[in-house]
Structure 1
Amino acid sequence: MGQLIKLQDYISRYEQDIYRYPSQFVRLKQQQWEKLKAAYTAGELTRLYEEHEDTGQMEVEHDEKKGLLNKVRGLIGRGTKELPADQLKPVGETNVFSLNFPTEPKSLDDLKQNYLNQLLKFQLKWGSSTIHEKSWMDDSYILDEKLRFFLQRFPDTYLVLYKPIFVFKNAPIELDVILLGPTDVWCITFLEAEEDAAFIGSNERFWLRRHHRYPDKKLLNPLIALNRTGKIVSQLFELYEISLPIHKVVLSRNGYIDYPQAPYDVTFLDKRVFPEWFEKMRSAQTPLKHQQLKAAQGLLEYCQTTSSRRLEWDVDQHDQFGIEDGSK
């Protein structure tokens, strides 16, 4: 499961400590799955669910909050702005580890799929809030198929920046997708329409989409956005002396790309070659690397963040569970 380290301009705990949270998320996810699987095998899933109803977010947030408060940054950093609390819709507080299954799982595979679906909701919260700050999150991201693709179908060692907003020369710039692997970085722009659509590429401002059931349609050259993403990532890597290969990718999982004189520095992954690339990415066994985390930290330094401090009563709720506060 890829880790969401930045979504748009939402607050991210990974900004606070990129060297801590990726491994912590992997550990929490594995611990909860092993506990869930053991309960299912022993026929005690209902009892486990009832226990989690009582403890709520204690297990996850206790582990997270211990000794963390002194590491929480203020809102005066680069590209950061604060909105009044009454103008923000808070990120949902539902914790996936409450194990709230709509129906009794019929098999271990069914149990795992239910777990992954709920874990996606937790990922969105995990990647768009902190203990003391929260951001308004558009509910559409819960159903965003492309975001789900990265978060549910890639290994834990891949870090995802999804449509992040960078700040350069005091100007916000929204990019596409940046996928940080242990050994490579992938700047990805999607090019998808109807099943089996064909995209005719050129160096002009517009490309052509063709389909046997629909009339031809012009669309903006995807390389414009892709080259912008690649350039910014390249500049930041040079600034922070990060030596990771950067790949620029136009991705069409359900269509075809025809571009005879394509630029040499762009990879085109269409329906013909995507499965092989995807399988290679999924089967990678390389663990998280220091250079990868350094790259993530450098990118996050230039991301914009819009957030609000949690209300006092919201923070106080943690004390009801006996959660330690590093400031006390």
Structure 2
Amino acid sequence: MAQLVKLADYVSRYEIDIYRYPSRYVRLKKERWQRIKADWEATRREGEGPLFQHYEEKGAWQKARTLFSKSWKKRTQEEMDLPSNWELRHQSVEALREQFVRELLSFQLNWASSTVSEISTVHPSHRKDSLLKWFLTDFPDTFFLFYEPVLIAGQAPVECDTLLLTPNELWVLHVLPGDGTTIYSSQGTRYWEKREGETRETVLHPSLSIRRTVTVLQNILKGSGMKLKTAVICPEGYIDTGKSSRLEFYDRRSMSKFQESLSKMTTPIKADQLKAAEQLLDAGLTVSENRMDAEPENAVDSEEEFR
């Protein structure tokens, strides 16, 4: 799963230390899955025997409970109740993986909207965003996602296109909404036409938004060494226009090709990638409030407990 480093203008845990949290996420994810799968296998072997007995015997029960957050609105530790005996016994391994992915998505939203001292209000649309889920579930852990980021250019905030930072390059992705009936076609250098059935709508050419984002990035990423690539994607609709020497187009017919070509990348996280992520986070707009002000009735965990 790609790592959600920055979501809109929310406070991000990666802002604390981009050089430490990516590896921490990978470790937590690996340990969490190993324990859930071990429980699943144990319940199938032991029938109606007590769940987690193998953990208690090894003195690892508490460690197993402290990997992910059960209520991220109220806590900053990585805690979550492990599945019940019944839940594990009546699931296939495929269902277990799906449950695990849902848990990770919630966990990533937590990290992308809170720190030990600050919290941002997550818009409900982000919890149901199928494209955000696609980015996070269909790309490697070594990819950093900046989803709908707001970057500061000079003194002004700029709403930028979504950024996918891989170990080797930074993709600027302009996302076009639509469904199975949506068709986009070019009407020149400034406008496109969006068609849905009998409905016609004129929209700005995607290259204008991409050009604005690239200009902002070039000022932020001076000396980073990251190669910029640009693409227009329409996951649920169709793009009916000629090829471009500057832009790549991916629609409902070719999104899997785009995903597969990037997912083959096995390169580990690189220093240049971390440096670029740090520069982007430093330039990002953050809107948040103090956790004690937002949740006065809840005790805030210490930084030591969080780490």
For 2:80, what is the secondary structure of its paired residue? helix
Contact 2:10–2:287 at 8 Å: present in 1 too? Answer: yes
Are positions 1:98 and 2:81 aligned together? Answer: yes
Deviation digits for residues 58-111 of structure 1 (CA, Å, limit 9, x no counterpart): 72489xxxxxxxxxxxxxxxxxxxxxxxxxxx9464967334579555201100
Partner of 1:268: 249
Partner of 2:212: 228
- Could you list the runs of 5+ residues in structure 1 that have no partner in the other structure? 63-89
- Aligned counterpart in structure 2 of residue 59 of structure 1, from 63, 66, 69: 66
Partner of 2:32: 32
For 2:301, what is the secondary structure of its paired residue? helix
CA apart distance, 1:253: 2.3
* Aligned residue identity for 1:214: E
Higher RCO, Cα 8 Å, sep 6+:
1
- Aligned counterpart in structure 2 of residue 253 of structure 1, from 235, 254, 261: 235
* Aligned residue identity for 2:232: V
Partner of 1:242: 224
* Aligned residue identity for 2:255: F
CA apart distance, 1:284: 1.8
Supply the distance in 1 between the matched residues of 2:145 and 2:73 (Cα, whole angstroms): 19
- Aligned counterpart in structure 2 of residue 308 of structure 1, from 282, 286, 289: 289
Supply the distance in 2 between the matched residues of 1:109 and 1:32 (Cα, whole angstroms): 16
Against the structure 1 CA distance between its residues 160 and 57, is the aligned structure 2 distance closer, same or farther, given a 3 Å change threshold? farther
Against the structure 1 CA distance between its residues 10 and 325, is the aligned structure 2 distance closer, same or farther, given a 3 Å change threshold? closer
Contact 2:6–2:149 at 8 Å: present in 1 too? Answer: yes
Supply the distance in 2 between the matched residues of 1:46 and 1:163 (Cα, whole angstroms): 46
- Aligned counterpart in structure 2 of residue 47 of structure 1, from 28, 48, 51: 51
CA apart distance, 1:216: 2.7
CA apart distance, 1:14: 0.8
- Aligned counterpart in structure 2 of residue 280 of structure 1, from 257, 261, 265: 261
Are positions 1:112 and 2:97 aligned together? Answer: yes
Partner of 1:185: 170
Percent sequence identity is 32
Deviation digits for residues 272-319 of structure 1 (CA, Å, limit 9, x no counterpart): 332222112122211111110100001111111112222186784536
CA apart distance, 1:258: 2.5
Supply the distance in 2 between the matched residues of 1:317 and 1:280 (Cα, whole angstroms): 43
Contact 2:3–2:144 at 8 Å: present in 1 too? Answer: yes
Contact 1:206–1:219 at 8 Å: present in 2 too? Answer: yes
* Aligned residue identity for 2:140: P
Supply the distance in 1 between the matched residues of 2:301 and 2:107 (Cα, whole angstroms): 18
For 1:34, what is the secondary structure of its paired residue? helix
> Which shifted more, 171-180 or 198-207?
198-207
What is the TM-score when the length of structure 2 is the normalising length?
Answer: 0.83
What is the TM-score when the length of structure 1 is the normalising length?
Answer: 0.78
Q: Residues 138-217 of structure 1 correspond to what in structure 2 (within 5 A)? A: 138-211=123-196, 213-217=197-201
Partner of 1:13: 13
- Could you list the runs of 5+ residues in structure 2 that have no partner in the other structure? none
How many residues end up aligned between the 2 structures? 291
Contact 1:234–1:246 at 8 Å: present in 2 too? Answer: no
* Aligned residue identity for 1:224: L
* Aligned residue identity for 1:20: R
Deviation digits for residues 12-47 of structure 1 (CA, Å, limit 9, x no counterpart): 111121000001001001100000001100107983
Supply the distance in 2 between the matched residues of 1:184 and 1:163 (Cα, whole angstroms): 18
Deviation digits for residues 96-131 of structure 1 (CA, Å, limit 9, x no counterpart): 733457955520110010110111011000121111
> Which shifted more, 92-101 or 194-203?
92-101
Against the structure 1 CA distance between its residues 57 and 284, is the aligned structure 2 distance closer, same or farther, given a 3 Å change threshold? same
